[in-house]
Structure 1
Amino acid sequence: MTSPIRVLLVDDQELIRVGFRMVLEAEPDIAVVGEASDGRQAVARAAALEPDVVLMDIRMPGLDGIAATETIVRERPLTRVLVLTTFDLDEYAFGAIRAGASGFLLKDAQRHEMISALRAVHRGDAVLAPRVTRMLLEHVAPRLGASSAGPDSADAARVADLTDREHDVFLAIGRGLTNAEIARTLYVGESTVKTHVGRVLAKLEARDRIHAVILAHRLGLVPDDPAGGSRAQA
């Protein structure tokens, strides 16, 4: 039997933690192993409990979610952090992505969206819902090195170095597809997709899938309008 996904809940509001726990523990493949009400507790409990995924709030007293994310990702590279944020994706959440978070989960997300996001992050996918992708491009890209003049020649050169199959995988990542969805689209095995994704990120010198999404949009290879192709991870 497959071990359940071990989740640590981090939020300074107890009622939010209670609500998330009720939703997640109703799933047979998810186990909430602990809670924390601030960043310092999150770091300590992540070390003690060794969760697979941390559901991380950003604005908390004391140590905030950005600093906590950076520490957890550095000390436990196999633990994924999924950031809780508001609809407008405040600048604090952008900082968490730079710190190594694997994606965003909107606080008004539906039950199935939260569960899908946790499973996707646990599989190693980055989570970017369609409406998040657009705001990410508008607000995060400049902070991650994008220029108003568009991508530089080095970006284009690295993309040109991709093989045809790697280019297909890159475009699929840019559209927000998970590894499983890419496998179905390209008629290959999921393990093959994982290998291609690793090579794509290495060749593009992208830290993670989120940076690859930004680059694909900056290069104009996929539509900026979520309705035109970007989808939520599932």
Structure 2
Amino acid sequence: MTTFTTPIRVLLADDHPIVMTGFAMSLAAEGLDVVGQARTPAEAIALYAELQPDVAILDIRFGTELTGLDAAHTILKADPDAKLIFLSQFDQDSLIKETYRLGARAFVTKDCDPADLATAVRQAHAGKLYFLPQIAERLASMAVHGDVSPQSQLDERDLAVFKLMAEGLTNAEIADQLNLSTKTISNISQSVKEKLGVHRPAYITKLAVKHGLIEP
């Protein structure tokens, strides 16, 4: 007697059509059913609610104010059991850690073998975590050596100032944007530099890019 298995239903979200089409074809070749393709985080949220896929694959960067992480927060709020996989060309340690902290089942880089993405989908559908070897190694390194990212060392206000510093804003411009006094921003920026051990503007920007806080 032949047994028919229902294919795993997958939602893809990426703002690069060629990338998304390529992954959709690869997943289909692996026997998975791509039921929807979203171009923005807002569209991903709407399609998830409409289609109720088994697994959603979300890009992190969309070139909009919202990110894949924002979409994930909204999706998980409505469906705490949602099985999410993050897909990104960026593989900063802080991003990897944040996705798993949020509740992702896997973090897969865009240059991965399509078979690895299909495996991640199957593992996520089964309620398991999936780690590419290089991702597992980096997570293990963070566990051993500790998290030294700005996110782990700065409070919310310090981090907001740090990101604006990294974008090249002056203390006066940061003060205006955050509605604080220039003296307060000057004190915070000096404290941030001391905490992170960086003082030159170029190093501050490089550190922010490395940890995914601003676009490269």
Q: TM-score range by the shorter chain?
A: 0.5 to 0.7
| Contact 1:7–1:55, Cα closer than 8 Å, also in 2 | yes
Q: CA deviation at 1:95?
A: 2.5
Question: RMSD of aligned C-alpha atoms?
Answer: 2.3
| Aligned position for 2:194 | none
Q: Which runs of 5+ in 1 are unaligned?
A: 148-234
Q: Kindly tell me: are residues 143 and 54 of structure 1, through their superposed partners in 2, closer, same or farther at Cα, counting changes over 3 Å?
A: farther
> Structure 1 residue aligned with 2:102, among 96, 99, 103?
99
> Does residue 125 in structure 1 map to residue 124 in structure 2?
no
AA aligned opposite 1:9:
L
- TM-score, normalised relative to structure 1: 0.56
| Aligned position for 2:59 | 57
Distance 1:19 1:132 in 2: 23
Distance 2:60 2:25 in 1: 21
Q: Which runs of 5+ in 2 are unaligned?
A: 153-216
Q: CA deviation at 1:87?
A: 6.0
Distance 2:20 2:81 in 1: 23
| Aligned position for 1:80 | 83
Judge which range, 123-132 or 89-98, deviates more: 89-98
**Per-residue CA distance 1:180-232 (angstroms, 9 max, x = gap):** xxxxxxxxxxxxxxxxxxxxxxxxxxxxxxxxxxxxxxxxxxxxxxxxxxxxx
| Aligned position for 2:147 | 142
| Contact 1:70–1:96, Cα closer than 8 Å, also in 2 | no
Which secondary structure state, in structure 2, belongs to the residue aligned with residue 124 of structure 1?
Answer: coil
| Contact 2:99–2:107, Cα closer than 8 Å, also in 1 | no
Distance 1:143 1:104 in 2: 20
Segments of 4+ in structure 1 off by > 6 A? none
| Aligned position for 1:40 | 42
| Contact 2:30–2:115, Cα closer than 8 Å, also in 1 | no
Distance 2:108 2:6 in 1: 23
**Per-residue CA distance 1:6-61 (angstroms, 9 max, x = gap):** 10001111111110111111233x10010111211111110001011111100111
Q: CA deviation at 1:118?
A: 0.9
AA aligned opposite 1:32:
V
| Contact 1:38–1:62, Cα closer than 8 Å, also in 2 | no
Distance 1:24 1:84 in 2: 14
Distance 1:100 1:6 in 2: 19
